[in-house]
A and B are shown apart, each in its own frame.
Chain A
Amino acid sequence: MLETEQVKKEIINIIADIAPDENLDSLDGAKSLRDQLDLDSMDFLDIVMELRKRHQIEVPQEDYPKLATLDGCVEYLSPKFQ
């Protein structure tokens, strides 16, 4: 299991690749990613795709809502990172 900060960094790296023109410095961990970054369901699909490609993590569809905020991502994904 990775440190919280490291997990957060991995997630931000993924988002930075998917939405290269967005500024990620001022991201509020508790607020919805969708609203802050103009992400839609197509982008969420890409986050899930990259999690699989880079970290072999599978996220079943019913768990997508858990990825709504950055804090949510960290909490849900931390145990899945090896």
Chain B
Amino acid sequence: MAMPKKYDAIVIGAGMSGMACAIRLGMFGKKVALLEKHSIPGGLNSYYQRGKIDQDGKRVGVRKFDVGLHALTNFARKNSKKNPLIKVLRQLRIPYDDLKLKEQSESRIQVGDIGVNFSNNFDYFVQQIEKSFPENFSHFQKLVEFINTYDDNQITTEFVSGREFLERTLQNSRLVEIVLFPTLIYGSSWENDVDLRQFVILFKSIYMEGFARPYGGVRTLIEVLENKIQENNVDLLYRSSVKKIVAHENQATEVHLENGEVLRADQIYSSAGLAETYSLLGKKDLKQKVIGNLSFVELLFVYDKNIDPNVCDKTIIFYNETESYEYKKPDDYVDTRSAVVCFTDNYREYESDEGLIRITFIANYEKWKTLNQDEYKTIKEKTKKSALELIKKVVPQDDRTLKYWDAFTPRTIEKYTSHFKGAVYGATQKIADGKTSLKNLFVIGTDQGFLGIVGSLLSGISVANMYGSNLGDRS
């Protein structure tokens, strides 16, 4: 048997956090292996292609899709004051223009009969709140002041209820629902609540900074990252699924792959998720405790042309039929009373003449999991019908022709990202310092507590900086 290959560091998973972490470790001069189960990078925010090539080599109905991209949050203009996005670009040495960011037009939060718009200009959101909630406007200003002075760098471990804090501060239940809605669905692993620190981070990233989209979609970002991976001599190994992490006393020593290969490293960084990483260590008891509960169904509808701005000029609509928003695992397959509706062609520039609407519903993993093949197809069709009905309600004048649709479910998410129960936002318990019970094994990404594309990139960077730089040691 060949000697196991030895690296300075192994990073498990080539999602956003894993790629960023591997690039930073490479910059520190480490020899890094980045192990990815699949044959392309991106993880929860990857891409795929549908359609086929016929006998004559002609492409028939070939379309490229992003798995999850509604919006890149944390928007910042070039040369603006440092925010998480600018930090990520600086740390990875990515020129701002390489991302080809196109801004949102504006977005909307609809809860019952009250709707509030926001854009990449925070003042607009503030004015909208003043208009719809004049009596509570001073309360809202207090919230903004609180957010501006809150130190979100502090590493807290105790859960503080964001909802309770908002109820106390805003004193208007509808306003609470409106402000909370996007922050829950864009990054809370708690049902109907969000950790206060997480809320502050999300509030800034969504309302104060805003949304953009790389021209060409997530591929544009992934290509930039792939180039950086190469530049920093990281070995990116596809179809390399980690089966087991072997530990000796309090030290991780080896990584065993499904294909039988064994790799050694001084340090291991895992983006597989906390429960998933425990499971790779064979710690089943710990695993059960930390699996998240929230999963989603994502539907994509392709139309013959871009949407007419007179029919709808919003980029994203957070839509909730009733007066209060339920963010929890539904009893049914999906909860069709609320959704995120993304009109991708309403970014400032969009690369296709066809239109695209993406719909996200909260879903019940267990119900999807137990379906047989036929039932699965039927329920998927039924969910499609519900989504189209919802679109009719949101944009009744949209009379474009539907050309193609696709959907992925908690089952698909679990299969393609290996997150147990398709739990997109991971465990409720987050490991802010990335440490585990093994002194050279670290957790990055979703379960370190940073969510979304920008958040998970930043997570990979900061954990690599903390434990992988070997700088500042006494020499």
Contact = CB atoms under 8 A, between A and B. Distances in A.
A38 B82 contact: yes
Main secondary structure of the interface of B (DSSP, over half): loop
A59 B471 contact: yes
Contacts of A48: 471-472
Interface residues of B, number: 22
Contact of A45 (B78, B469, B475): B469
B273 to A, nearest CB: 25
B133 interface: no
Contacts of B302: none
A42 B475 contact: no
Contacts of B27: 49
Given A43-B90, A46-B91, A38 B81 contact: yes
A40 B462 CA distance: 13
A61 B465 CA distance: 13
Contacts, number: 45
Interface residues of A, number: 20
Main secondary structure of the interface of A (DSSP, over half): helix
Contact of B465 (A45, A52, A53, A64): A45
A17 interface: yes
B28 interface: yes
B96 A21 contact: yes
A60 interface: yes
Interface string A12-39: 0000011111000000000000000010
Contacts of B473: 60-61
Contacts of B95: 20
Contact of A40 (B29, B82, B93, B475): B82
Given A42-B462, A48-B472, A61-B473, 16 more contacts: A17-B93, A18-B93, A19-B90, A38-B81, A38-B82, A42-B87, A42-B91, A42-B461, A45-B469, A45-B471, A49-B471, A52-B471, A53-B29, A60-B472, A61-B472, A64-B472
Interface of B: 27-29, 78-79, 81-82, 87, 90-91, 93, 95-96, 461-462, 465, 469, 471-475
Interface of A: 17-21, 38, 40, 42-43, 45-46, 48-49, 52-53, 58-61, 64
23 contacts: A17-B93, A18-B90, A18-B93, A21-B78, A21-B79, A21-B96, A40-B82, A42-B87, A43-B90, A45-B465, A45-B471, A46-B91, A48-B471, A48-B472, A49-B27, A58-B471, A59-B471, A59-B472, A60-B472, A60-B473, A60-B474, A61-B472, A64-B472
